[in-house]
Amino acid sequence: MSFARLRRLRRTPALRALVRETQLSVDDLIYPLFVVEGENIKEEVPSMPGVYHFSLDRLDEEVGEAVHLGLKAVILFGVPRHKDEVGSEAYAEDGIVQRATRRIKEQYPDLVVIADTCLCQYTSHGHCGVVENGEVLNDPSLELLVKTAVSQAAAGADVIAPSNMMDGFVHAIRKGLDEAGYTHVPILSYAVKYASAFYGPFRDAAHSAPQFGDRKTYQMDPANAREALREARADVEQGADLLMVKPALAYLDIIRLLKEHFDLPVAAYNVSGEYSMVKAAAANGWIDERAVVMELLTGIKRAGADLILTYFAKDVARWLKGGE
């Protein structure tokens, strides 16, 4: 018997393109943006080269560029000036994310604006909920999250993305949105969010590191996969429209697991630490940034992600168009 000649289909670029199984598309990318109060601010995050804090007046240009490159969606993270025990700025009508959302939707009504719904950037203790005696309380946190989600929808957010990992948050937010008349606003649940060290640079960027303890009582243990199914199932039952896995690279098996078990679109968050590792190695000349990024994102898609949140979104959009 002769052996298989797999190289036949690898002989030319055209043949390889014909049999390529996974395509990255600009339509699948979600671009994260950090918005800050103040004026004329475009400040690079030191641990995330190429990622900036934008004041609203400087945001226009960045969003314009993203739209011009063909990106369809952004996700907004607010970095407020004022923090307090209960994260009031997260649900203030004139909060930074609410204002940014209104401004973007006025100029780019077709761009999908996703609002990250969490409290950690807004609380003085840096936890994602209400803290009492050193404990993060579940149900009292839900009320604040609902207020946050409703205020974001009122500002025009197209999608609500709760990331705080309190139990029952999808149910509470769905009910709150429906009662406020936002039945049409979908929920992208950070259903499976691990207590990961890869969030380090984001916490620098968003000034959201917990001031005591860690997030292990609400975010998942990186060792668990079956528990991811329970998390996702709970969110699906509560009315989630899309499911997210976060981070992405050390959790490709989880992406695949969700894809196989549920029929909702699956999003993967290529998080800050994953971005910074690539940037640091590339800056040292140790890897080819473009090739590595394309390989990583293709891997995330191949694992089963329908959507990818990535700080590389603009670069990838440019590369897909054939630019440098």
Q: Is 231 annotated as a binding residue?
A: yes
Phi-psi region of 181 (alpha: psi -120 to 50; beta: other; left: phi over 0): left
Would you give the distance in Å from CA 213 to the centre of its chain? 23
Task: Report, in Å, the least distance between residue 120 CB and ligand PBG.
Answer: 5
Task: Report, in Å, the least distance between residue 215 CB and ligand PBG.
Answer: 6
Task: Report, in Å, the least distance between residue 148 CB and ligand PBG.
Answer: 12
Of 103 and 127, which has the nearer Cβ to ligand PBG? 127
- Pick the catalytic residue from 72, 83, 193, 279: 193
Report which of 257, 193, 255 is spatially closest to residue 222, judged by C-alpha positions: 193
Cα distance between residue 152 and residue 170, in whole Å: 15
Count other Cβ atoms within 10 Å, centred on residue 56.
18
Cα distance between residue 152 and residue 196, in whole Å: 27
Task: Report, in Å, the least distance between residue 28 CB and ligand PBG.
Answer: 17
β-strand pairing of 42-45 with 48-55 = antiparallel
**Chain residue at closest Cβ approach to ligand PBG:** 202
Of 116 and 231, which has the nearer Cβ to ligand PBG? 116
Told to judge if 193 belongs to the known catalytic residues of this protein, a careful annotator would answer yes
- Residues contributing to the site for ligand PBG (CB under 6 A): 116, 118, 120, 128, 163-164, 199, 202-203, 208, 215, 271-272
Report which of 11, 10, 50, 14 is spatially closest to residue 33, judged by C-alpha positions: 50
Told to judge if 246 belongs to the known catalytic residues of this protein, a careful annotator would answer yes
Length reported for the chain: 324
Of 98 and 163, which has the nearer Cβ to ligand PBG? 163
The binding site for Zn(2+) consists of 118, 120, 128
Residues classed as catalytic: 193, 246
Which residues belong to the annotated binding site for Mg(2+)?
231
